[in-house]
Amino acid sequence: MSEETKVCACGCGAEEHEIDEAEYITLQFDEGEDIECEILGVFEVEGKEYIALDPQDGSDDVFLYGYKEIDEEEFDLVDIEDDSEFEKVAAEFEKLTLED
Question: Residue 72 has what pLDDT?
Answer: 85
Rounded to two decimals, the pTM is: 0.75
Q: Where are the alpha helices (DSSP H) in the chain?
A: 83-99
What mean pLDDT is predicted for residues 85-97?
Answer: 95
Distance CA 37, CA 53 (A): 6
What mean pLDDT is predicted for residues 77-86?
Answer: 96
Domain boundaries of the chain, sorted by first residue: 24-99
Q: Which residues contact 38 (CB under 8 A, 6 or more apart)?
A: 22, 23, 24, 53, 54, 56
- Tell me the per-residue pLDDT of 5-55, one tens digit each, with 9 for 90 and over: 344 444 454 555 444 578 999 999 888 889 999 999 999 999 999 999 999
Amino acid at 7: V
In this predicted model, which residue has the larger pLDDT, 76 or 30? 76
- Residue 63 — very low, low, confident or very high, per pLDDT cuts 50/70/90? very high
Q: Which residues contact 60 (CB under 8 A, 6 or more apart)?
A: none
